[in-house]
Amino acid sequence: MTNSLTVCSSHLITLPSAPFGPVREAIADARAAVNEFDPELVVFFGTDHRRAFRAVVPTFAVVLSATAQGDVAGPSGAYDVPSALGRALVADLVAGEFDIATAYEAALDHAFGHTARDLLGEIDAKPVLPIFINCASPPHASFRRAASLGRRVGEFFADKRVLYVGSGGLAHDLPGFREPETGEVLTEEERQAWIKSVNERARVEGTIRELVRTWDEAFLAGIGGTSWDWLDEIGVDLVERGGNGAAECLTWTAAWAAGGQALKTLAHEFDTNGRAVAISDK
């Protein structure tokens, strides 16, 4: 049995209108694997929807104290963050020439909360060290840079029994993030209207669905191995091929590299949004 387990998942919104298909079922399998593995530490690569980081958006940040906002029917409360360990990680990353930010405290949104709850049961069930990766406010890091960060993090925690989590994606388009320089987020009513229009266009044209499937399959094939050869190609024309939400897969890429193992896809589904769950062998 190895010292690490990696689980990557779309953060599934727990609203009555949310889909409950194969990916939702696979979350239960991933959670059972997490329970069996019983990690001493969870290193969680997650992102944000311009709720936690607004005035200043770092490319990467280690969070030393975190609460959950409870947005979109997500959990609320405090994470059990090992801040001393986080500070030591920051020092190591800086020594490794990563310009990492230190977030002394952050109110994290559902990009962390949903998946933490889905995999752990409660967000404070295990010590969780959140590592923020900017995915919603371009310019963001390349997939290769996210992998490099993940590899360094994995090296730092090589002597611990760690669950690496990546939460986000897959290919989808985030309403309100088309003009990032405004920093504005749509209201929920505007967001639902936008989603309805996208779904309608997809039913008529079929083009968005095909883009989602093609990009998703290429990405899942990449993390399904250990080669880094695919990292440069997957980010080319990202918005056109996978939507602006596809950048959330930077969190998966970092977690994949941290664990250093190929991931197997437990479930993948798509309509106008790609969703999947992938896990490494223990």
How does pLDDT run across 233-261, given as a tens digit for each residue?
A: 999 888 878 887 889 999 999 999 999 99
- What's the sign of the alpha-carbon dihedral 65, 57, 119, 176? positive
Mean pLDDT of the chain: 86
Residue 172 is a catalytic residue: yes
Task: List pLDDT tens digits, range 9-49.
Answer: 998 766 555 566 888 889 999 999 999 999 999 999 999 87
Residue 110 is a catalytic residue: yes
Task: Tell me which residue has tokens 């409660």.
Answer: 122
Task: Write the DSSP assignment of 53-93 as a string of letters.
Answer: -SSS--SEEEESSEEEE--TT--EEE-B--HHHHHHHHHHH
Q: Which of 11, 114, 140, 172 is catalytic?
A: 172
Residues 55 and 106: their CA atoms lie apart, in Å, by: 13
Range of the domain at 120: 4-280
- pLDDT above 80 for 3: yes
Give the β-pairing of 66-69 and 128-133.
unpaired
Q: Which of 49, 110, 114, 268 is catalytic?
A: 110
Amino acid making up residue 146: A
Q: What is the mean pLDDT of residues 170-188?
A: 59
- The structure's pTM equals 0.87
pLDDT of amino acid 176: 53
Number of domains in the chain: 1
Find the CATH number of the domain harbouring 256: 3.40.830.10
